[in-house]
Structure 1
Amino acid sequence: MFNIFKKVLGKTTEAIKDVAPTKRKDIPKDEFEDILLEADVQYELVERLLEPLPNKVNRIQAFNSLISIFQYESDLKESDATPFVEMIIGVNGAGKTTTISKLAYKYQQEGKKVILGAGDTFRAAAIEQLTRWATKLDIPIIATQQGHDPSAVVYDTIESAKAKGIDNVIIDTAGRLHTQTNLSEELKKMIRIAGKALDGAPHRKMLVLDGTQGSSSINQAKAFNEMIGIDGIIITKLDGTAKGGSVLSIADELKMPIFYIGTGEQPEDLIKFKANEYINSILDEIFI
């Protein structure tokens, strides 16, 4: 797992080496500040993390400071409900559809039956892309035409899952800009209809954030959370950016569980997020 985190954070650790080219037992506090800023940790958070630290910072002190960001109460929203219904949310381009395929593959590997619901009826390409993944993974999908009511897709997908004894339902949603009020109303309706099809559904609303957006993705997350309430986060494309420190800013601002990190384009490229391994992968580049 360590090697995977190192690979994912490769560009971030390269950026760190530009600031701190040699590893040491301790480093000056202002150098640690430069490292965190280079990795796209928000300035206000950096100042807060540094405040209690001495002028020379060792690895243990750095670890304790960074891990403190993740010491918040978070509900992982697990459920024994069958089918277990997840709604995947996020703006276009965040890697939502690919993430759905990764979740589906993960559940398949656990021996579960999966069905997809193509609830992004706003964009024809989204329906086609999700259908291709369903075919590739050999799992059923409920899809309709572009422009049709996505709530009908939600209802039909859950009903089909109930009838066929399927374990996991994963529903895609439209990814228009979060400022659009029609998207907000559409998502709220989809959630209501899911609850009518199956009491308690959706059991989890997962937000996909693009890691290359850095800290700017926080505003997206806040907007979606205000709209419908988000249960957890999946961060994609961290392997393609030097902004790996933004995970700290996201965790600090949102105080939501980060479930998974996307590590590539293939269905198997999804790992569980573990805060201690994430932090150690960064500190390995700084300290002996």
Structure 2
Amino acid sequence: MKAFTKLLVVGSIGAAFVAFQWSGPTLDPESLKGARVLVTGASAGIGEQMAYHLAGFGAQVVITARREKVLQQVVEKCQVLGAQKALYIAADMANPSDPERVVKFAVDKLGGLDYLVLNHIGPSPFAMWDGDVEHTRWLMQVNFLSYLQMAKTALPTLDQSKGSIVVVSSLLGKMCSPFVAPYTSTKFALNGFFGTLQHELAMQRSNVSITICILGLIDTDSAMEKVKGITNIQAWPASEAALHIITSGATQQTESYYPWFWYYGTLIRDWFPYFRDISIRYFYKY
């Protein structure tokens, strides 16, 4: 009887945990009304969709990417959707001076920041590594070092506003897969650095929270073009991923997964490494 009771308790806890992961925290749209948000990589894909969601919630939004004309179009749509303020600044995160410049622009125009959403990535081939070290070095600046520069610059104002840094990362920063060596290296670096910074800010009793969002394959145009004919892994909607990221940051989750079930993939990834690696390669054609 005692064994049955223990089993029942464990099962109930497991079911409750699965239910929580499935439903996730609830976003209060009012909490984002008037919020001052900087979103990077917002000319297309997930970043663009985040800008539209935030505009619909009545936030004040600054967006950035390289393509000025596209940014103008996104800002115009944000204004139509209800953003209290929508501004853009064109920048290239491969330029070491641009990350700091973008943050200072946002702080100046918005009078501070409540959310810094780090989402931008540089283009990288979906192919076996060809030995190009310089490309990986360049990608580290865009996908990793620029995130650190922006976080450093934004921390003082975020501390004043009790704000949040939201880092858009990837399942490829948790589990290695073929054809993405440079990209994967940047995402592992992001998870390691900002995971450590979470601890350090908590130990310092900082007012700043950090949310790391782990995404699976998302159906952005650029991602779909890269993986076409190479993998049959399911892709998930960019608009839903964008809302998940916003919700995770607004509710100050430490780490979140979209789709949610990938959490369990990372949880058991080291239990059976041989079968894990065979399974991963099964999804790719070469």
Please, what TM-score do these two structures have when normalized by structure 2?
A: 0.44
